[in-house]
Amino acid sequence: MQGISIVLSGQAYVHWTEQRTHDTEGGERRTETIHYSDSETIRGLNSLMIQLWGDGKHSQELAAGSQTGFIRYTLTATISRSWKFNHTTKKAITINEIVDIITLQLAVRLSSSNEKTLCCLCCASSPISLSVITDRGGYCPGESIAISTEAENHSNRRITVVQAMHAEADCGPGIEAGSTSNWSNELLPIPATVPCIGSCRILKLSYILQVTIAIPRSTDLHVTIPITIGNVPYRRGQPVTNPPPQANYPLPSNPYPPPAGNAYPPPNGPPPTGNPYPPPVYNYSAAHPPVNIGDDNYTMGETQYAPVYGFVTDYQFVPPPS
């Protein structure tokens, strides 16, 4: 864009009508409506302009900022009373669309790479390159992304690799000039968060994994990989499907973990009879601070609400086949 500006302007406007009756040449009386109007620009205001960003002449890039939006479900109960205020109480609930990650397209590894050189022309260095591989493309909160990287530093500067997703980040060791560093199955945990949203017309939610090489005195080198966050957890050995079906098992409605005696065994333990793929042990966790859902001062009950999301509590990483 070239700029963002605000102009303060003022204008006065007036309009009225009058009825006039007169005789025509034929001797008839006729009434006409006469319109009067005028406008005036308020002097001294039309030149007041504030340039908020840019100079209004040269094109520049404005970095992306924050956006506000939400999808919220509420139950409202109302007692209607004659000649009095109604009694209203509200309760917010969490509803998430099913995002099944036990699908063929999400069970395969994802990879991406990028490289850059420092300086330019005759001063250009040998490239700095970064390759990233994940163990799969879909995860649930409570699981971890297994990230394998290969970073080659053929420049004359020491660099650092940083991997991040959502609010989680991990900083790896520095890579000296002229050397190569490899990570194998470094685990980046996924916090309680909203599953991907694709069914809403006006609001979409998706995630990316970003691995960055921090380069002193230069712009950083980034590699990004799209990641699907779902709520039907993956179990190694469970057959994947394509296209995705409905959830193979319902998520528990109890917001508390089951008693220890009834808890599902860990993935490597013996499965219960008749169920070769035990469902995960799920807990529920709030991902954001509470909001006020009260419409006015007459809304009764607890109006503070924080959405909760499923969280795998028995996750154990199993390295994929080489």
Q: Would the CA dihedral through 182, 186, 191, 197 be positive or negative?
A: positive
In this prediction, residue 265 carries a pLDDT of 36
How many Cα atoms sit within 13 Å of 220 on the Cβ side? 12
The amino acid at 111: S
Check whether 204 has a pLDDT greater than 70: yes
What percentage of the chain reaches a pLDDT higher than 90?
Answer: 15
pLDDT beyond 60 at 278:
no
Does the pLDDT of residue 257 top 60, yes or no? no
Domains of the chain, residue spans:
3-54, 104-229
Q: Tell me: pLDDT of 207 over 90.
A: yes
Looking at domain 104-229, its CATH class is mainly beta
For position 268, what pLDDT does the model report?
39
